[in-house]
Structures are given as C-alpha cells and as structure tokens.
Chains A and B, each alone.
Chain A
Amino acid sequence: MRRPSLGAIVLGLIPFAATCFSVALWDRIHPMIMGLPFNFFWLISWLVLTPVCMWGAYRLEVPRTSDDRREGSVEVEP
C-alpha cells in the first residue's frame, strides 16, 4: 500500500499535538472564554479546527490515490 505523503502526515499530527500530548498546558479553568472553562473551550474549538487540518491533508492526498482518479476527481500532474 502506498504510504500517505509527509505533508498529509504532518497535518494529521497537528490535532494530536493540540488535543492529546499538550494536555498539561490547557487543562485549566481560567481564562474562561464565552462562559466555558478553558479546557472545555479548547477541546471544542478543536472539533472545528481538526476538519480544517484534515481538509488540507485531503487536498494533498486525493490526487495521489488511484481509485479516486477513476471517479474523475481533480487530477494534478507534477
């Protein structure tokens, strides 16, 4: 199986860094934003930011995948 491109992997690591490994940095109550404790607010915002990262990864990956070419997707020639 062809491995995903480096760029797509890096984009996927961003949400991991933000919501998993960095827990000690954001797991606190203050500052409260929009009435929410900070940890709560942080994780909710990553529900929205993760699709943004993965949309970027999607743009990088789709032209590389063979099964999708047949579907007439955007084809980028180098």
Chain B
Amino acid sequence: MVGFIARFHHKMDLEQWTVGGRGFGLVLVWLLMAGEIYTTFTFLGASGWAYSRGGPVLYILGYLPLMYVVSFYILPPIWEVGQKHGLQTQADFFEVRYRSSFLAAFVALVGVVCLIPYLQMQITGLGLIVEVASYGAIHHTPAMIIAFALVGAFVFVSGVRGVAWASIVKDVLLLFAAVFVGFAVPRICFGGIGPMFAALVQAKPAHLVMPGATKDLGHGWYITSVLLTSFGCYMWPQFFAASFTARSGRVLRRNAVIMPLYGITMPLMFIVGFCAVLVLPGLSNGDLSLLIIVRKSFPAWFLGFVGGAGALTAMVVAAIQLLAGATLYAKNLWRPIVAPRMTDRQVARLAKIMVLILTAAALFFAVHSSTSLVSLLLVGYAGVAQLFPGVVLGLFSQRVTTDGVIVGLVMGLSVAMFLMLTGQDPYKGLNAGFIALCFNFAATVVVSLLTPVRMAGFGEMVSSTAAPQPSKNVGPTV
C-alpha cells in the first residue's frame, strides 16, 4: 500500500508522524483535507438522507462551501501560531493561548470523545459496504473487524505522510465512482437527471423541499445546522491539526478558495438517493440506497469497484482520525496529567498504542449500536463545535480569558448533552448543538468580561508595565 512506502522516505519522530514535518504544499494539504471531508458519508450518508429525508439533505450542500469560507479566516492565523510555537495538536493551541494545562486537557478530552462517533460512522459505513458488495455473504461485523485491524496497523506504522499518499489513490477512485454513478444511475432508470426530477416532482413534490419526509427539519433547522456545521467543521482535532501540515498560510488560503469546487460530487450523491425514492421504495435503512441501486443497475464487478472505493475512503478517513485522536490523548491528556516527564519518543510510543485502543473502542460501539450515518455525524459536531468560541476569540480578541473559555465550554457541552440525551434535538425546530453554541458564546463573553486578563495573546503574559495594545488593522488598508 502507498502509505507504507511513504514511510521509508522519512525518518519518523513525533513531529514527522503527526504533522509530516510541516512541509506539505498545496496538493498534499488539499488531499488531506479533501480526504477528510469527502468520506463514507459522501457515498452513503448523503444518498441515504436524500432517500429517507428528502429536502433537509440540502443542508449538506449549504454548509460545504461555507465551512471553507470560515477556514479562510481562521486557518492561516492558526497555522502561524502553530509555526511559531511548534504546535502539533489542537489542545497545544489552547495550551499556548490560555496557558492552562487543564483547559488543554479538557479540549483534548472533548476532541477524543467526539471522534468516537465519527470513527464509528466510518466503521458502520464500511460494514454496510462489505455486506452489500458481497451479496450478503460476509456479515458486516467480521468485515468491520478485519478492515479496522488493517487501518490500525497502517496508522501505527506510517503516520500522517502515509495517510496523505493513500488519500490520493482513494480520491481518484472516489471521484471517478461518484461522477460515474451519479450520471449513470438516473440515465439507466429514467433516461437522465432531468426526467428523473420531473418524475419525482410528479410523484412526490413535497420530498424535494424542506422539511421533506420529516416533521421538524424545516428552515430554522436548516439555518442553525448549516451555521453549526460550518463553524464546527475545522474544530475537529484532525482538521485543525491538518492545517499545521501546510507549508505556509497562503497554501491554506488558496485551499479555502478552491475547495468548494470539489463539492460538485455531493449533489450527484443526492441524485442517486432521489432515484432510489422512486425505484426502490420502502428500504429499511436509507444508507443502503446507493449500494443497492448500484447492485441493481450494474454488473457485479462494478459494484465491487464502487464498494472498493467506498471502503478505501472509510479506511483512509478513519486513519486520519485515529492519528489525531491518539496524538491528542498521549500528548495533551496523558503526559500533563499522569507522566509530565515523558520524552517525545515515549509520547509517540503511547500515541501508537492509543491508536489500537481507539480502534477497539469505535469498533465496539459500531458493533453494538445502530444509528443512521448522518445522525452520528451531527452528534459529534454538536460536541466539537463548542470549541469554536475559544479558538476564534483566542485568535482575534485580547479580552477573552481562560476562565471565560472554560465556563463557556462547560456550558455549551452541558446544554448540548442535555438536549440530545433527552431527545430534544431538534429543539423547537432549531439544531440543539447550535443552541448550545449560543449559550457557550454568551457565557464565554460574560465571564471573560468579569475576570482579569492574564494572557493577551500567544505566549504573552500581561504585566503591569506592558498593558495590551488593542490591535487594529495595521499594514496596507483597503
């Protein structure tokens, strides 16, 4: 596999393993980020929601370009801080900005916990693919176990560089499969995309607008979900850490400009899901709609190809998540709390062991629970998006305090957990994670104003002699 080869060209220390020595150019960063964002979810989740929910699936198309818009403003400064202070993880960022190991450990914990549903999503998707592609011959449980043992081993050996290269192979396959399936399926079933929509408008017009086949996913839900997702996206520890791999802030900016174009494959997945509404009514699990319609319309070898691309995607993405989660755990949770005198070498070793433990945990959940792929994603987002105020205010405000961020984070997480665990998501037609984010923001601001500022920026303590200067736009104005 490509990833294993990449290993031999580079000596692996902790920095190589986690951030590839910070030498990735436009193409490699693009692949890492695209690899992350276009996932099993692209294949199965999007078509699954188009099939089972209809109109609300458009939220995916709404947040896609917007999350890159957000990244345009926050990733270059994050990269700059990372470069200056040698950061490797998201929690490192909080550590340097807020000078609090407690906050850093808390952030790491949030990151690792939220990664588990995300990982679980990849595993579940993988299991579905193997089961359908083998015509039911291989049950999804053994398939998940074998595939994830492979992923764990792969990450263990090769680190981020291997993953980026494997990403290339998977992107080419995924793109080809998605474009081909997206055009061919409506053509085979209806004679084209236009006739397919015409037929669907005839048969089920309500399915195509919000709230579609649901009761409570209307416009309020759309707006709040799009906002939550586009703010929250780069709060995933693995995306956040991916920005450290860039060679410069400019690489990240250019990336943010062009990435929405790659989203063109997403509507094709919706189209497949919409076709299935008419062709395969009554599926019990919407996430299966794409695979079953491919199985119906094409010869077996093609189903194998699509399945292969989907499976590889799940594995690559899971690998990136494992890498980020394990590094976070070892570096920002274990070392500061349990063994402060660990060397980087030991941290690297612990991170590798953690890869195996996280793999096992996600597998356990995947085997023992069944939720739709999109729902899993939304739960993770609601949690991880709560880190947004701490990051954005930390970057652009000097007034925000450590206490403010801690209180806000606790507030946001409690509200999100309360609403989700009591089954009130969406709450009055609004995304529960977004409501939590509003509480979080408000608490962060209020508590920050009430507490004294100790850190005015990155690594700059406030002393009585040097009061912080409010930073205005300097440099050439427009």
Q: Please, how many angstroms separate the alpha-carbon atoms of A3 and B473 in the complex? A: 6
Mark interface residues in A26-56 (1 if CB within 8 Å of B CB, else 0): 0111001011110110011011101101110
> How far apart are B205's CB and chain A's nearest CB, in angstroms?
6
User: B residues within 8 A CB of A64?
Assistant: 475-476
Interface size class of A (residues with CB under 8 A): 35 or more
| B250 engages A5 (CB within 8 Å) | no
* Chain A 1-17 near chain B by CB (<8 Å), digits 1 or 0: 11111111100100110
- CB contact under 8 A between A19 and B226, given known A39-B208, A71-B250: yes
Q: How far is the CB of A13 from chain B (nearest CB, A)?
A: 9
Evaluate contact between B223 and A29: CB separation under 8 angstroms.
Answer: no
SS class, residues of chain B in contact with chain A:
helix
Chain A residues touching B, majority SS: helix
Of the four ranges (under 10, 10 to 19, 20 to 34, 35 or more), the interface on chain B belongs to 35 or more
| Contact partners of A5 in chain B: CB under 8 A | 473, 477-478
Q: A67 near B249 (CB under 8 angstroms)?
A: yes
Task: Tell me whether A1 and B77 are in contact in the complex, defined as CB-CB below 8 angstroms, given that A19-B226, A43-B62, A54-B69 are known contacts.
Answer: yes
Q: Is the CB of B261 within 8 A of A65?
A: no
Q: Tell me if B219 and A65 are in contact (CB < 8 A).
A: no
Cβ contacts under 8 Å, B248 to chain A: 67-68, 71
B55 surroundings in chain A (CB, below 8 A)? 27, 39
With contacts A32-B201, A47-B64, A73-B250 taken as known, whether A37 is within 8 angstroms of B208 at the C-beta atoms is: yes
Chain B: residues with CB nearer than 8 A to chain A? Answer: 55, 58, 61-62, 64-66, 68-69, 72-73, 76-77, 79-81, 83, 192-195, 197-198, 201, 205, 208-210, 219, 222-223, 226-227, 230, 248-250, 253-254, 256-258, 260-261, 263-264, 267, 270, 395-396, 457, 471, 473-478
Q: List 16 A-B contacts (CB under 8 A).
A: A12-B69, A20-B227, A21-B223, A23-B210, A29-B201, A35-B194, A35-B195, A39-B208, A39-B209, A40-B61, A43-B58, A43-B267, A54-B72, A65-B249, A67-B76, A71-B248
A→B interface (CB under 8 Å):
1-9, 12, 15-16, 19-21, 23-24, 27-29, 32, 34-37, 39-40, 43-44, 46-48, 50-51, 53-55, 57-58, 60-65, 67-68, 71, 73, 76-78
